[in-house]
Amino acid sequence: MWRYLTLINKNLIIAIPVMMILGFIFGITFQAGFLKSLIIPFTFLMVYPMMVTLKIKKVFEGGDMKAQVLTQCINFGVVPFIAFGLGILFFKDQPYMALGLLLAGLVPTSGMTISWTGFAKGNVEAAVKMTVIGLTFGSVATPFYVRFLMGAAIEVNILAVMKQIVLIVFLPMIAGYVTQQGLMKKYGMKEFQQRWAPRFPAISTVGVVGIVFIAIALKAEGIASSPKMILYILIPLSLIYIFNYILSTVAGKSLLPRGDAIALVYGSVMRNLSIALAIAINAFGPEGSSAALVIAIAYIIQVQSAAWYVKFTERIFGKASEAEPSEPLAREINPAEKVPDDPFFVHGGTIVPDIGKILYVTDLSKTARYAVRYACSVGNKYQAKVTVLHVVPDMLEEFSSGAGIDLTGRFGKKWDEFNAKSIDMAKETIRVRIQETSAQITKEIPYCPLTQGDILVEAGNPVNCIVSVAEKGDYDLVIMGTHGHGKLEGAIVGSVAGGVISRCSKPVLVVRLPYEK
């Protein structure tokens, strides 16, 4: 079953038109009124799975503020008003058709924003934030936009619309978040991303094609009496998407780095038609089927245009750097595929290391930023969690070991306070460095796994501390830098890397650091 659902999800370009045709045939053959009772179940089936894979926490991480602000300005300050104007122009005597056009251009952004950004090798992390921000703000703002722009043409019960928003967005969002946390707690982040997350978009597809079927079936008799209606609807919808692509492409190419620009395009063009469809059908009664017809047709344009835009991405924005992945965040796998418990498993004939947790060791030097790129790149490739570790050397302990006498007892509490103060200073320095580094690296790598919440600072012997943390934390990979300039420097710094390599049972990646002037 999962295989077929995934196949449908990958081929919405074909699936949506097929369901529209089947819905039309059903609507003109049978009485379709009873299908209204299926709207709520299919709506939940459509929205809830998307919320399970939504990374709500990512919205609070910085690094791409300009892209986020620019995206939402286009989403809420430009496109809805273009859609409204075209609705008045093309559907002057059909206000609910105009409403459908407005809803199709109003509610950003869909989960496909993330997928298509990944396919185009854009900043996937920025796309995740755009999805969360756009969905949340759009859900709150939609009733007011509809009332302000369409209130003179149709009866808009703002409380009824808000009620539907709560039922089809916020309740599924809460349920999805609870499900996500439960699955991650039970199976871990890595297994959730690899095994469970790819399944939910496929479940959502059932709701999407079901709602499209119902919308067309309810409107079938009207379409049969005026077959030119479909072609007439395609004109204003095409104009909206063409305008949106041109505006976001020009703005992104002019003002943003490549990865952010691509995320901007898909963060503004890929509207959440599933929610728009649910609002049209659930909040506006029988007349809402006219609005739903417009939105259902928008699916065809949106998915088709997104696929074609990927093909022209390199011509528009240039080629992606090697650090940028060509696949979405989670790999879609066959649910029947058994993943062995062994930390290295064979997939497609290649031995692929299963890396879920990375320990990045830094000495806070400027050249350490060179090594952090490896930590971010590997973390990005495997969607691994990266923890930053800095060890404050306990010099008194080192002197005691070298002198053969215990000096720590002579300094006692004052030395402990000195170590504690050093740890606090190191933590603050790391937080600042992470903020600066993340802002820079996310311009080059779509997913920078560095966060200010995963910082460890220890005091003591560097080798002992690094090995202990790596072993107790059950990390899959340790990444650290080492200098190789000069005998004295190589002996001091190199001995730490050498000690870790010789004593740590975990794989260690050592990055040769440039000379710090």
Predicted confidence at residue 57, as pLDDT, reads 64
Dist. CA 318–CA 253, nearest whole Å: 10
Mean pLDDT by 10 residues, the chain (517 residues): 64 76 90 81 75 66 80 94 93 90 82 70 80 81 86 69 73 84 81 74 76 79 79 92 96 92 92 80 79 83 80 84 43 40 40 74 73 80 81 59 48 58 69 66 60 72 89 89 52 67 87 67
Q: Which residues are CB-contacts of 226 (< 8 A; sequence separation ≥ 6)?
A: none
**Domain 344-512 homologous superfamily, CATH:** HUPs (3.40.50.620)
Coil, strand or helix at 110: coil
Q: Which residues are CB-contacts of 506 (< 8 A; sequence separation ≥ 6)?
A: 359, 470, 471, 475, 476, 477, 478
Predicted confidence at residue 234, as pLDDT, reads 92
Predicted confidence at residue 426, as pLDDT, reads 67
Identify the DSSP state of 513.
Answer: P
Does the domain at residues 2-8+39-317 carry the CATH identifier 3.40.50.300? no
Predicted confidence at residue 337, as pLDDT, reads 41
Amino acid identity, position 466: I
Predicted confidence at residue 262, as pLDDT, reads 93
Going from N- to C-terminal start, the domains of the chain cover: 2-8+39-317, 344-512
Phi, psi of 51 (to 5 degrees): -75, -25
Distances, alpha carbon 447 to alpha carbons 2, 173, 311, 454, in Å:
28, 23, 22, 16
Predicted confidence at residue 82, as pLDDT, reads 95
Predicted confidence at residue 200, as pLDDT, reads 78
**Residue 431, Cβ neighbours under 10 Å: how many?**
14
